[in-house]
Each structure stands twice: as structure tokens, then as C-alpha cells.
Structure 1
Amino acid sequence: MSHSHGGPTADVSVRIAWADDAASIAGVQVRAWPALYAGLLPAELLPTDVDGVAAQWRQALVKPADARHRVLVALERNRVVGFALTSPAVDPDCDPVADGELAEVTLDPDERAKGHGSRLLQAAVDTLAADRFTRAVTWVNAGDDALRTFLTDAGWAPDTAHRELDLDGTGATTVRQVRLHTAIG
């Protein structure tokens, strides 16, 4: 049987992350964060040590805090180009049985606008539905128009909740976030 490369989707996929993906996920995160937090975080607070970040990921992948803490990776051939995290929602006004959270969708900065984000988002929603959540929530930096537009185009809507996130633990660096939600399942 010959493999035809008929379409652009032949070599892209999304799957649940394995412990072996830790270093690749860490690499995406370390590359993506300077852009995500530009103007919000001083550069010295951004992680640059891929090995240190990878160790944290490996721990999380090997021993998740909860069975419903999932890490999904977007692949191009066998290369990790993005990741998403899903879990029960932890906000006080959320129901941890019914409400799942899309905790993060991060793409390698060089891999944007190739459809990976849409595939990851769809896989994350499918995963939340499989974990029997009926609503998904996610927090978006108020100034991140690109992510907010991406999500609203996919059917998410603001639910009026907002928060100030303390980025460095001192209260000196905060970012305003808005919560979006969508019905699933």
C-alpha cells in the first residue's frame, strides 16, 4: 500500500500526551511564553530552562493530580507543535462535576495559523465531553484579542466573570482576565 499525501491533514494529529513528550511540551512553552506575556511579565520571570520545565511536566504526566487532568499535544508528523490542558473547573462559582476547564492552549510561535489551534481546541472539547463535563470555561488575558477572537469564532462567549491574576506572587505584576464558556456534550 502506498501512502498518498493527498491533503494537508495527512501528517497532523492530536493525541493525549505521554511522559516522553515532557521535553517537547516544555520547549513549546518556553518559546511561546515571551510572546504570550510580552509587556506583562519582566523577562527575568519567564522560564528559560527547558530541562527544569520538562521535569515539572514529566511529573504531571506520570502522576496527574486527578484522572480528569489531561494534557493533549498537537503533532506535525512526530513533532509536538502545541498543547492543551483540560481539567475540572476550580473557580468557586463553578461546579467541578459539570464544569470543565480548558486551562491552556499554547502553540509554538512558529506554528501559528496552520490549523493546529483549531484541532487542539476541538480535541480538548471532545476530551472534556468524554470526561462528562457539560460546560467548559477558559480564562483569557483581557488584552489577548487574537485568542479571544479564536475562541468566540469557535462558539465560546464571555460569561461576565473576570479576575486579576497575580503573575509573580507579589501583587506587583497582575493581568486582567476574562472568562469564556461554551456548552459541550
Structure 2
Amino acid sequence: MSQAKVRAATAADVAEIARIQRDTWRIAYAEFLGEQALAALADPETEQQWAAAVEHPGTAVLVATEGEFTVGFCVAGPAPADEAASAAGELPEDADSVGLIATVLVEPRWGRRGHGGRLLAHAATALRELGAARGITWVAQSDAASLSFYKRAGWHPDGTVRTLDTGEKTIRELRLTGPLDLQLTPPAS
């Protein structure tokens, strides 16, 4: 196996990040999102949004590489108040020290090689450096693979749910929360 690494994304990675998102969503999330949402990822605006994220201070956009290939990415930063709030809109006491893992995506053909765990661990380190004490993320309730991934990292649903409307379908997401001193465990055989 080639050497696997995680590093901060640069402007040169933007096209590859957009491609990985487009390809991975098309393979892994098509049934959840619908064709309209997937088609929107081909819009040139998607790359512009990723370029802005890479340049945004306080946001960690990380890429996973294996050899010469970029195989996945992760985005993390301080959790906006509306992401950390309860369903009733109340902020937790630790709202100022909550980090958000906005996404962890690894192309399915590069899956099961530890890239997701490495990305999550590096994102957790970045969040701790930004002053976060715990993390949150949102995962589709029907995404068993992602739910299992976060469970192995010690993250669990906190009881907050939201529904996203893609224009064709609705997606029920669970908010997960967990520690930033990660202890990833291998999947059970």
C-alpha cells in the first residue's frame, strides 16, 4: 500500500474535492438525495464554494492522500449557534467550545483503508486547537455506514434531529456528539 497522509487542503485541491464530493454522493447517497441535488454538484459554483471554504480562517479543510491520489476530505470548524442549539433553539452551556465536523468523505473505492479515521482524528486535533472541547456532526438516519463509523469513534446521537429537503426528497438527520480525543477502533469482523 502507498503511504497514506492527511494534510491541509490548498487552492490546488479544490477541483479534486469537488470531484470527490460529486462522485461519492452519486455512488453512496443517490437514493437519499435525488437527481436534482446530485446534478447541482456539477455547477461551477460548487468549486467556488470549496475555494471559499479552503481559504476561510477558522475552518479546517483537510485532504486524505494515498500515494499521489487524493482519496477523501474533511471539513471542520467552530459549530455555528444554530448547529449546536437544541431542537427548541436553546444553546448548551458549552456552546462556545463545540466544534462541527461538517463532512468526512472518502471515495468508496478507497474505503476501508483507514482514511476516514485519519481525517476525523486530524479534524479533532484542529478543533481542539481552535478551543473546542467536544464535537458534533449530522448524519442521515439511514446512513448505517457513517453512523457505525462515528460510533467506533465514541460519538453517539444526542437526541436532536432535523429534516433536510433536497427538492425531491427529505432526509432525516441525527446529530451526533462525541469527544475530540478520539480512540478509533477497528470495525468488528
Aligned equivalent of 1:112:
111
For the pair 1:49 / 2:42, whether they are aligned, the reply is yes
Is the 1:69–1:87 contact (alpha carbons within 8 Å) kept by the matching residues of 2? yes
The residue type equivalent to 1:59 in the other structure is A
Identity %: 35
Aligned equivalent of 1:164:
163
For the pair 1:36 / 2:28, whether they are aligned, the reply is yes
Aligned equivalent of 2:88:
none
**Structure-1 separation of matches of 2:59 and 2:42:** 24
For the pair 1:126 / 2:122, whether they are aligned, the reply is no
3-state SS of the aligned residue for 2:32?
coil
Aligned equivalent of 1:79:
69
**Larger Cα-atom Rg:** 1
Cα shift readout 1:47-88 (whole Å, capped 9, x = no counterpart)? 3527542232123323x1xx2211011011232100001021
For the pair 1:24 / 2:20, whether they are aligned, the reply is no
Is the 2:159–2:175 contact (alpha carbons within 8 Å) kept by the matching residues of 1? yes
Aligned equivalent of 1:4:
none
Equivalent pairs, count = 171
**Structure-2 separation of matches of 1:177 and 1:163:** 5
**Structure-1 separation of matches of 2:116 and 2:122:** 10
- Using structure 2 for the length normalisation, give the TM-score: 0.82
Which of the pair is proportionally richer in helix? 2
| Residue in structure 2 matching 1:178, options 174, 178, 184 | 174
Consecutive unaligned residues of structure 2, counting only runs of 5 or more, are 86-90, 182-189
**RMSD value, Cα:** 1.9
What are the equivalent positions in structure 2 for 1:130-141 lying under 5 Å apart?
130-141=129-140
For the pair 1:61 / 2:54, whether they are aligned, the reply is yes
Is the 2:37–2:166 contact (alpha carbons within 8 Å) kept by the matching residues of 1? no
- Using structure 1 for the length normalisation, give the TM-score: 0.84
**Structure-1 separation of matches of 2:145 and 2:31:** 16
**Structure-2 separation of matches of 1:60 and 1:40:** 24
Question: CA shift at 1:96, angstroms?
Answer: 4.6
**Structure-2 separation of matches of 1:87 and 1:59:** 14
Per mean C-alpha deviation after superposition, the further-off stretch among 47-56 and 82-91 is: 47-56
